[in-house]
Amino acid sequence: ETHGISFRIQITVKELLDTDVLLKLLFHLPVNYPSALPDISVNSDQLTRAQCMDVKEKLLEQAKKHLSEPMVHDLILWVQQHLKDVIKQSATVCNEKTTLSKGTEDGIWMLLFHLDHMRAKAKYVKTVEKWASNLRLTGRLMFMGKIILILLQGDRSSIKEYLILQKTSKVDVDSSGKKCKEKMMRVLCETEVQSQHKRFQTFEVKEYSAPEELQKEFETAGLTALFSEFVPPLLK
């Protein structure tokens, strides 16, 4: 009643590049759907992340044509019929982008990743805050029980730089107390910020006592689909 509904649909598209492609589509229908566009997430083991992003953008373009009428079924039929064309275009655009200036490279991007643990929590948190500040990244460092998530927004180049720092710096200590690099981080999602996503104005460290509180943080930022796709598996 207040958040709408999310559901996943898996479809197989035949005869693409001589192989069947399994597409995993996650739809989040807001409360005022179909007057508002659904949030869509696209994943496939057979496609690159860039190709998945292109498929998602094309689906959102189609969705705009069906505004105010139920559209999920039409979108699924459309992607089954046009996936091959989208992938061909994606390859062409990709080649063009490498020769253009890096304007798109510096668009506003979002990164969500999971940390297994923090032994030296106070020092680790201070380091993350410093990096986010230096790179002008906003977002949240989120603690909920044993779950640690970092959600960042900012220039794509800054996000990439942050990831390098996270992987190569000695940010924590091992079981014997020696400084060590982060070896147990997992990137859950890296994507361009869409119009329905709200921008974080600051970087904050927050603790949540229940999954519902964590979910509300994502929903407030227009990231319901991101939460539905990546966080529930961590709660099991």
Q: What is the pLDDT of residues 78-134, one digit of tens each?
A: 998 888 888 877 665 544 444 443 434 456 899 999 998 898 899 999 999 999 998
Same-domain pairing of 120 and 63: no
Report the pLDDT value the prediction gives residue 97, as an integer from 0 to 100.
Answer: 44
Residue 148 is part of a domain; what is its CATH number? 3.30.70.100
* Structure tokens that stand for 97 in this block: 């982008």
CA 144 – CA 155 distance, rounded (Å): 27
Report the pLDDT value the prediction gives residue 95, as an integer from 0 to 100.
Answer: 47
Decide if 97 is inside a domain.
Answer: no
Same-domain pairing of 53 and 169: no
- Percent of the chain, pLDDT > 70? 90
Report the pLDDT value the prediction gives residue 15, as an integer from 0 to 100.
Answer: 58
Query: Which tens digits make up the pLDDT trace of 132-181?
Result: 998 999 999 999 999 999 999 998 888 988 988 888 888 888 888 888 88
Burial of 137 (0-12, 13-18, 19+ CB in 10 A): buried
Query: Which tens digits make up the pLDDT trace of 41-81?
Result: 888 888 887 888 889 989 999 999 999 999 999 999 999 88
pTM greater than 0.85 (yes/no): no
Same-domain pairing of 125 and 192: yes
Same-domain pairing of 208 and 120: yes
- CB contact at 8 A, 41 and 229: yes
Burial of 168 (0-12, 13-18, 19+ CB in 10 A): exposed
CA 219 – CA 236 distance, rounded (Å): 20
Bond prior to 233 in cis (omega within 30° of 0): no
What is the helix (H) or strand (E) element at residue 102, kind and residue range? none
Give me the domain span that covers residue 68. 5-91
Query: Of 91, 124, 148, which residue is a domain's last?
Result: 91
**What 3-state DSSP class applies to 115?**
strand
Query: Which residue in this structure is represented by tokens 């990831």?
Result: 163
Output the furthest CA–CA distance in the chain (Å, rounded): 61
Same-domain pairing of 136 and 85: no
Decide if 102 is inside a domain.
Answer: no
Instruction: Give how many domains the chain has, as a whole number.
Output: 2
Decide if 114 is inside a domain.
Answer: yes
Query: Of 30, 63, 91, which residue is a domain's last?
Result: 91
CA 89 – CA 95 distance, rounded (Å): 10
Decide if 73 is inside a domain.
Answer: yes
Report the pLDDT value the prediction gives residue 17, as an integer from 0 to 100.
Answer: 55
Same-domain pairing of 228 and 116: yes
Decide if 27 is inside a domain.
Answer: yes
Residue 24 is part of a domain; what is its CATH number? 3.10.110.10
* Structure tokens that stand for 137 in this block: 């990244």
CA 205 – CA 122 distance, rounded (Å): 11
Same-domain pairing of 118 and 38: no
